Copies of this chain bind each other. A is one copy, B any other.
């Protein structure tokens, strides 16, 4: 008789975004004349850049002719793309061998699937609040999870507690949802802690392109010896608007060896067994993202979103509302005014300003009383939202 993986039953039902959608729908129904502005979900809104579109068009032509048609590609991704990513990392001082780069269909898949490589008995360390995928994936696998507090007391940048043992550490910088960013010294401390504990750091750098302040690391491999303890996950979703096109990549250094087992080889084995590579046309589109022209186009997109974020933070500042993010990150993490709870503030914003955001409590217990807004709407809508916020806060 088939036995189900019972760990699934331990998952909390995640109603965050469906509850938001339900409330918005109800409100719209009762108030059909109100224009609702969504500053909630972390999805991009600008179309793909010119050179990405050109590359897609060319790739489609390739697929239409026998001579240039592409069937199965390498499971790890085409050399042309891995080469261009390797060169991109070179620019900020990180040397990567192309065989250390694995192309996937998004950071979410890879950061979940990587747990295939680890035994059930590892202890997982996760900041709270956090992107819910880290927690849920490990619950499905039956692992024990410990939380570290990410609060205003540590500027939402929790640091290792040397007395606390763990085996797998999740870090996300710039952080989703708090927008906070680790500096190099802080990452050095994490790397040191991981090396002492023979733990692994799973480093989510999906938002690294939003870092504008000099000196802040965009890759954990800017830290010495990180290649001996860290896997880095990245995505073109937020940097190049690929949320609907789907492409991410994972860096597994050749020097990442635990008990004589080379994790690069293990991940290659996992991917070549359980995955068949990313669409050729999407890989061709991704290739141009890393060219000089592509990077300039992406920079312009990011500046657009960051300008929106600034429009919002200007209001928060003028109202003396505590917040992090909005700089080096498209996310703004604010303390709900008047000690409101997250969902209370959600209702207040929806009803009084017709603005939709994300209740912080959806990201963990420390998120209660906090709220996430994003720069991912149009400038026009963001300006209007700012004016409305100004009126009601």
A44 interface residue, CB < 8 Å from B?
A: yes
Residues in B whose Cβ lies below 8 Å from that of A241? 69, 71
- Residue-wise interface mask of A (52-85) relative to B, using a CB-CB cutoff of 8 A (1 in contact, 0 not): 0100110010011110011111000000000000
Give the distance in Å from the alpha carbon of A245 to the alpha carbon of B69 in the complex.
Answer: 10
A109 interface residue, CB < 8 Å from B?
A: yes
Give the distance in Å from the alpha carbon of A199 to the alpha carbon of B280 in the complex.
Answer: 38
Give the distance in Å from the alpha carbon of A106 to the alpha carbon of B122 in the complex.
Answer: 31
Give the distance in Å from the alpha carbon of A11 to the alpha carbon of B273 in the complex.
Answer: 10
Most chain-B CB neighbours within 10 Å: which of A241, A246, A282? A246
Interface residue tally for chain A (C-beta within 8 Å): 74
A5 in complex: contacting residue of B5, B8, B118, CB < 8 Å: B118
Chain B's nearest CB lies how many Å from the CB of A10?
A: 11
Residues in B whose Cβ lies below 8 Å from that of A263? 4
A72 in complex: contacting residue of B168, B244, B274, B276, CB < 8 Å: B244
Residues in B whose Cβ lies below 8 Å from that of A277? 246
A43 interface residue, CB < 8 Å from B?
A: yes
Given contacts A117-B4, A118-B5, contact A133 B71 (CB under 8 A): no
Chain B's nearest CB lies how many Å from the CB of A390?
A: 26
B-contacting residues of A (Cβ < 8 Å)?
A: 1-6, 8-9, 11, 41, 43-48, 53, 56-57, 60, 63-66, 69-73, 105-106, 108-109, 112-113, 116-119, 121-122, 133, 136-137, 140, 167-168, 197-200, 241, 243-246, 258-259, 261, 263, 266, 269-270, 273-282, 378
